[in-house]
Amino acid sequence: MTRKQPAASEVATRKSGPLRTVAELLAIVLVVMLAKASLAEPFYVPSGSMEPTLLIGDELLAIKFSYGYGTASLPSFIDLPMSKRIFASVPKRGDVVVFRWPGDRTQVWVKRVIGLPGDRIALRAGQVIINGVPVALRPDGTGTMETESGARIVARRFIETLPGGRVHPIFKLAADGPLDNMPEITVPPDHLFVMGDNRDDSADSRVPVREGGVGLLPMANLVGRVDMLVGSWDLAVRHQPIWTWPSGLRISRFFKAVH
């Protein structure tokens, strides 16, 4: 009795099975990479410079199509020279933005847009002055600021209203901090003036790049706009027994809008 030989098509199918699996995996990776480059990318917040808006341990989502695309839009582990953006648009004053830090483009930072190209920006006693007009600022009690070491500090809370009506909270630790006064500067074309909401604990456009700040941010460095959080975990619980770690999940901040 002779054994039936498999059809040529069956042999081809069996041999191509592993190759097909590899191709499918590569296709999935490519789709994920394209999505991260063109749609949105999650980032983790390691510092308190944007408190009380963003907390240490928040995971935010940077929407990349908001301001167009350039080499800064590529996944954060890819560092290529800056390029001009295509489909570019200027952020709105008050937007929370993710960007490549000019001092090291492998680092991704998050701040709030305060000044647009052509704006004249100054600070006096902690109050922002835009084009000669002081920004509205009203007291809003106190809040708790968390440091990177896990310490918690009581900070004064204010509500800032930018030109155009965008409203957001800020923290102030000192009445006259080292960054509370700045002579007027003009934001050059294709640049932004950005600040952290935690005004006494933020190396932002008030601080030159050579001193560890942002300086005037080139718009080519923009990654995207922050519209919402996707999750949050209180890092303070990492010093507790591992079975208590789930208690650090801040469920109320999951899918929370960012203003």
Question: Could you report the per-residue pLDDT of 40-86, keeping only the tens digit for each?
Answer: 899 999 999 999 999 999 999 999 988 999 888 887 777 777 777 88
17 pLDDT tier (thresholds 50, 70, 90): low
Cis (ω within 30 of 0) for the bond into 52?
Answer: yes
Where are the chain's structural domains?
8-38, 39-253
25 pLDDT tier (thresholds 50, 70, 90): low
What topology is assigned to 39-253 in CATH?
Umud Fragment, subunit A (2.10.109)
> Is pLDDT at 33 greater than 50 in this prediction?
no
Which among 256, 105, 128, 248 has a CA at the least distance from the CA of 194? 128
The one catalytic residue among 47, 64, 73, 111:
111
pLDDT at position 238, please?
A: 78
49 given a catalytic annotation = yes
Alpha-carbon distance of 87 to 89, in angstroms, equals 7
Which position has the token pair 């590569």?
A: 26
> Is pLDDT at 35 greater than 70 in this prediction?
no
- Tokens coding 29: 């990776």
pLDDT at position 88, please?
A: 85
The one catalytic residue among 36, 47, 49, 205:
49
111 given a catalytic annotation = yes
Question: What single string gives the DSSP state of each residue in 199-253?
Answer: TTS--STTS-GGGTS--SEEGGGEEEEEEEEEEEB-GGGGGS-GGGGGGGB-GGG
Going across the sheet that includes 152-161, the strands are 136-146, 152-161, 167-172
End-to-end alpha-carbon separation of the chain, Å? Answer: 78
